[in-house]
Structure 1
Amino acid sequence: MDSMKDNLKAVKERDPACINHVHCFLNFKGFLACQSHRVAHKLWLQGRKVLAVMIQNRVSEIFAVGIHPGAKIGSRILLDHVTRLVVGETAVIGNIVSILHSVTLGGTDKASGDRHPKIGDGVLIGSGTCILGNIKVGECAKIGAGSVVIKYVPPRTTVVKTVFPVKPPVEPVGPMKQ
């Protein structure tokens, strides 16, 4: 119950679209997906894995969010917009983390064991980001939108996707030749 209250507070504090706690509780799919994961995770830890996966599958159908029941998620989490979020089985997400939509915390191969990212406290992960493999993202790091991260990210650093420069055309653009 405390983790739910903490998450409600986090969403209210960090998401300007959150009108009030009731609005979040009833309508914010990131909040709802996170709370559903907490139930599935508890079942997973109790060895009730079939039921945990059934809950995860239903959450995936309803919210387009795939958080494996084995993944560990801290408190005061903001999952904003959250569509197409994928979090692998051995991923760990720290406290006070903000994750936007279309983020993947995935593995890099089919090997079993610890194979997913570990996200430190206070991290911000921008939309469209892929963080792959058993790597650590240090506390208070910021990962810019569209980044692909496959190596350790030190605490309090910013990772951004390289933006390709726009070059002028070599010759004037004319009618399309088809």
Structure 2
Amino acid sequence: MPVQQEQPHSPPSEIIDSSSSSTCDDESWVWAQIKAEARRDAESEPALASYLYSTILFHSSLSRSLSFHLGNKLCSSTLLSTLLYDLFLNAYSTDASLPCAAVADLRASRLRDPACTSFSHCLLDYKGFLAIQAQRVSHRLWIQGRKPLALALQSRITDVFAVDIHPNVKIGKGILLDHATGVVIGETTVIGNNVSILQHVTLGGTGKVGGDRHPKIGDGVLIGAGATILGNVKIGDGVKIGAGSLVLIDVPAWTTAVGNPARLVGGKEQPKKHQEVPGESMDHTSFISEWSDYII
């Protein structure tokens, strides 16, 4: 029997803004959208019906669906899916910030990436999104002192998603890891809200010295593919890091850093519209008019 399609609710007026100001009130709307999309896809592609039912339609909430999906993605012969499901669901049930962050990250992927066709597509298939959600749980374990389990989870995230984020990393909301392959983020990194990071980005240290040794990324930052930021440097709000750049110094807010080693380009006042924030606009080339030796 064909699966009946659920009519999606009208989106809230603020849906065009993926900022961290979105609240958990959005969760019910996003979950309704995900279920409607899954029903539509199951009807149009019967080969996926069982998969969509078990991962989305069977579950009563986004937290349960995400816990089930992550548990099955990250399990191994010795780290069972049932154990991971209980681990994730307990985290989501006792820490309201986790489902809120997941909703903000879903919105970020859906709105910033033109290749993301639906919320359910992101939930099921975007390894950057899934890696961040799993890391948030590993971070919670880390700060609770359950470091062996946090590190074991980090290892599975790296194996499965090709994304290596230390459990101690503090990550804000509204994060997009676009493509995500090869992203490496070191232990004392801090990432703000509404940040977009492309593939093969490294946020690392400068050697084997311990302590606070990794970058601090402000809100609304865009970090291009293959960029490397090393050391305990501050990347200000609204900064744009060009693809392939090597950044070893602080970058002031609303400035572009590009090149190897990176040099600073332009700089402007804080934009009045969120669409102009680099981390949300995803505009990688607006600095070129100020890049004096750029030749076509």
Q: Above 0.5 in TM-score? A: yes
1:46 aligns with 2:46: no
The alignment yields a C-alpha RMSD, in angstroms, of 1.2
Partner of 1:36: 134
1:138 aligns with 2:236: yes
Higher RCO, Cα 8 Å, sep 6+: 1
Q: 1:65, 1:7 → 2: CA distance?
A: 16
Partner of 1:23: 121
Partner of 1:94: 192
Q: Deviations over 1:40-66 (max 9, x none)?
A: 000001000000011110010011110
1:124 aligns with 2:222: yes
Superposed, which structure 2 residues align to 1:73-112 within 5 Å? 73-112=171-210
Deviant stretches of 4+, over 3 Å: none
Q: 2:149, 2:245 → 1: CA distance?
A: 34
3-state DSSP of counterpart to 2:164:
strand
Q: Deviations over 1:2-38 (max 9, x none)?
A: 1111110111110111111111000000000000100
Q: 2:113, 2:135 → 1: CA distance?
A: 20
Partner of 1:157: 255
- The gaps in structure 2 that reach 5 residues or longer are 1-98, 261-290
1:14 aligns with 2:90: no
Q: 2:107, 2:184 → 1: CA distance?
A: 24
Count of aligned positions: 164
Structure (1 or 2) with the greater helix fraction? 2
3-state DSSP of counterpart to 1:131:
strand
Partner of 2:70: none
Partner of 2:36: none
The two structures have a TM-score, normalised by structure 1, of 0.90
3-state DSSP of counterpart to 1:25:
helix
3-state DSSP of counterpart to 2:259:
coil
Q: 1:135, 1:159 → 2: CA distance?
A: 13
- The gaps in structure 1 that reach 5 residues or longer are 166-178
Partner of 2:89: none
Q: Which has the larger radius of gyration?
A: 2
Q: 1:6, 1:64 → 2: CA distance?
A: 22
- Deviation (angstroms), 1:81: 0.4
Q: 2:164, 2:152 → 1: CA distance?
A: 12
- Deviation (angstroms), 1:111: 1.4
3-state DSSP of counterpart to 2:184:
strand
1:60 aligns with 2:163: no
- Deviation (angstroms), 1:160: 1.3
Q: 1:55, 1:102 → 2: CA distance?
A: 21
The two structures have a TM-score, normalised by structure 2, of 0.54
Q: Deviations over 1:108-160 (max 9, x none)?
A: 12111100000000000000010000000000000000000000000000111
Q: 2:210, 2:148 → 1: CA distance?
A: 19
Identical-pair percentage: 59
